[in-house]
Structure 1
Amino acid sequence: KQECYDLFVQAAQQEKDWADYLFRDGSMIGLNKDILCQYVEYITNIRMQAVGLDLPFQTRSNPIPWINTWLVSDNVQVAPQEVEVSSYLVGQIDAEVDTDDLSNFQL
């Protein structure tokens, strides 16, 4: 259990180091190193709680809730030309045949 805990904390630290690298030249509107590090702590807490581990970070709420729009694929509407449409009927045959349908045929 301690090994798993340590792995999560180490992975979170690596993500924070990556955030430090990403924002080394400055931030952007709505996102900076501190906010991204808080998000890493938040998501790490959620993942650790899901597997029954103690929570190592104080961050308990999502510091960037707008990111959920991009992370939950059900929230994003795609245009038909961007996805494979499988609802087309190909080679569809009407299996409902009545003898009246054959009345124009001569043998």
Structure 2
Amino acid sequence: MISVKVGNDEKPLDDASSDWIVQQIERRRRDGIAVCVVVSIRTADLDMRMSTPECAGGAGGGRPPNARERVVLELWQKHGLNEAGFAPGHVVAFLVQLKRVL
């Protein structure tokens, strides 16, 4: 299962439309609220939680990522989601590509 959380609003990926994601991010930015996006992935061989820089909380696990985790992390970085000021469309693009690699 994959879920997307923007601020306090969370949805399973299948229910999180690209319009919903973009609107949630843009609305928070318009209101001057820090935008925290968290993507949680729980599959048979993955258990990952990735968050954008404005989220409170700690870093990743205490071991190097395995090959599948590395692919997901590289995709996250490719879309600039590890940088403040990321584009809302990059979250959507990440999720589309994530479905393909899983």
TM bin, normalised by shorter chain, reads under 0.3
Instruction: Return the structure number with greater strand share.
Output: 2
Q: Please, what TM-score do these two structures have when normalized by structure 1?
A: 0.27
Q: Please, what TM-score do these two structures have when normalized by structure 2?
A: 0.28
Instruction: Return the structure number with greater helix share.
Output: 1
Higher RCO structure (Cα 8 Å, ≥6 apart): 2
Max radius of gyration: which structure?
1
